[in-house]
Amino acid sequence: MNQLKYIIDINCFLTFSGGIVALHKLCHDLRHIGEEAYVLSRVTHPSIDAPFLGKKRFSKKETVIIYPEIVAGNPHNCENVVRWALNTPGHCGGSDPNAFYNQKKDTDLIFKYSEYFKLKNENESKGLLTTTFVDKNVFYSSKSSRTGSAFFIKKGGMKNQVHPINSINLSNFERDIQYMANVLRQVEFFYCYDNACFWVVLAALCGCIPIVIPDSNMSADEWYEKFPHKKCGVAYGLDMIEHAKNTLHLVEENLEIFYQKQLDTVKNFVKICELNFL
């Protein structure tokens, strides 16, 4: 039986874009478990195995194209299409959610990065496909004495201010990860106004206490269940600060456990693709 070839539709690696990082890391994980995978990008992170497709060509029947949810239609005209919801369709990149639903075929396979993200018809999801990459040369803790706080506002905005008035605003520095990491190594608390943001994990790795400001009626137990990689070292709401402090030393260990579980989602993804496309 021929082995499927996976091509991931993504451009150059950008450290500040969680979705782009995940797409490159998926290529790495597919190759790690023995699959043949490439990206449509000439540039990736030096620690990620995501080779550029270049001039390699495969038959349509053995090729799987993986599109993030912001891509409408099938611009590469591939026969076997996977659509990866790295966010709720329409919530990222200015994309039209209707384009995601109206321009896909019934044979397209849909996977979600997290149960937190929503589809119009949840039954269309074939399951979770999750992968995480952390550059530990950037995100590490080196300071025992800390003072003050920082805050971060993303796409959803800020409904109610919770952070102290003298907090450092990091909202416009997401592209400067070295600066972000340096600040997070100095402050005691990091207030994040985005329930799905990966920066809280990076903040915990830098040694401060990240506090997610809830924007829904979801309980802490429900939130930690949906984001298991954030169950250590991260506070979901002010009431969970002590939990975050008491589990901060477990962040790296929990990430490693989560990474192994992520590989299981990648392996399951391959099985489902083989069942549907071979």
> 235 near 244, Cβ under 8 Å?
yes
Residue 19 in this model has a pLDDT that exceeds 90? no
**How much is the pLDDT for 192?**
96
**How much is the pLDDT for 2?**
65
Q: 135, 152, 97, 143: which is closest to 119 by C-alpha?
A: 97
**How much is the pLDDT for 267?**
97
**How much is the pLDDT for 132?**
87
C-alpha distances out from residue 93 to 65, 69, 72, 216, Å:
20, 10, 12, 22
String of DSSP letters for the chain: -PPPEEEE---S--TT-HHHHHHHHHHHHHHHTT-EEEES-S---TTS---B-TT----GGGEEEEEETT--S-TT--SEEEEEESSSTTSSTT--HHHHHHT--TT-EEEES-TTS--SSGGGEEEE-------TTTS----S----EEEEE-TT--SS--S-TT-EE-TT-TT-HHHHHHHHTT-SEEEEE-TT-THHHHHHHTTSEEEE---SS--HHHHHHH-GGGSSS-EESGGGHHHHHHHGGGHHHHHHHHHHHHHHHHHHHHHHHHHHH-
Note the pLDDT tens digit of each residue in 98-137: 777 777 888 999 999 988 888 888 888 999 999 989 999 9
Residue spans per domain, the chain: 5-133, 149-255
Structure tokens at 48: 């990620």
**How much is the pLDDT for 12?**
87
Q: Work out the angle between the directed axes of helices 18-32 and 251-277 (0-180°, nearest 10).
A: 70
List the single range of 10-19, 32-41, 123-132, 265-274 with lowest mean pLDDT.
Answer: 10-19
Residue 69 in this model has a pLDDT that exceeds 60? yes
**How much is the pLDDT for 27?**
97
Residue 94 in this model has a pLDDT that exceeds 60? no
**How much is the pLDDT for 90?**
75
Note the pLDDT tens digit of each residue in 40-65: 999 999 999 999 999 999 999 999 99
The span from the CA of 148 to the CA of 142, in Å, is 16
pTM over 0.85: no
**How much is the pLDDT for 97?**
65
The span from the CA of 65 to the CA of 7, in Å, is 5
Note the pLDDT tens digit of each residue in 180-235: 999 999 999 999 999 888 899 999 999 999 999 998 788 999 999 988 899 999 99
